Amino acid sequence: MPRLTLAAITTSLLDPVDLVISEGETVVLHGQSGSGKSLLLRAIADLDDHSGDAMLDDTACSSIPAPLWRRQVGYLTAESCWWSALVGEHFPEQNPELVCRLGLPEEVFDWEVNRLSTGEKQRLGIARLLANRPDALLLDEPTANLDPEHTNKAEKVIKDYQAQQQCPVLWVSHSPEQRRRIADRVFRIEGRQLLQEPA
């Protein structure tokens, strides 16, 4: 079972972060805008310059090519990126059941990306991430643009995937209610420090 370990990960906004996220555990991170939440996730995903290292079990990020690391440690940005005209062109394989569970029709794979709403893009971003079957999840406000109904659907899809794969999850959320629902542990960024709170 995978375990995600952060060993003195340091960004321009954070002092060294040491943290172990166990298999099947959800750690939720919050803090003021600009405090460094996204920077930390990007550092773990090896997208930005940083010091320190991250490890998935015994495999260090620094020991393998970045694209291979990002296939194992899946990072969902706050706003998903789309590079082809049709939705289906962004998926390694189409999973109608998954998109239906997120409240989208099967034919969404045939839609043009430019017709999608912000919320549809966010739900499809979750589906695309999980379709790649990563061993750990880094989620940057994955439900920020969703109404309560679709937030609940998305949370269930993510938690079901996590339960099946027993993967560690680092989830950024501004919502106290969501943190209470999903978190095993909660941390906030204050100053340059990561401080644990009651879940």
Confidence grade of residue 198 (pLDDT, cut at 50, 70, 90): confident
CA 21 vs. chain centroid, Å, equals 13
Q: Report the percent of the chain where pLDDT is more than 70.
A: 99
How many structural domains compose the chain?
1
CATH number of the structural domain spanning residue 158: 3.40.50.300
Number of residues that make up the chain: 199
Q: Residue range 4-27: average pLDDT?
A: 96
Give the pTM: 0.95
Element (H, E) at 137: strand 136-140
What sign has the CA pseudo-torsion 24, 27, 28, 32? negative
Give the residue from 115, 78, 108, 104 showing the smallest Cα distance to 91.
108
Position 89 pLDDT exceeds 90: yes
pLDDT reported for residue 1:
64
pLDDT digits 0-9 by tens, 142-178: 999 899 999 999 999 999 999 999 999 999 999 999 9
Range of the domain at 70: 4-197
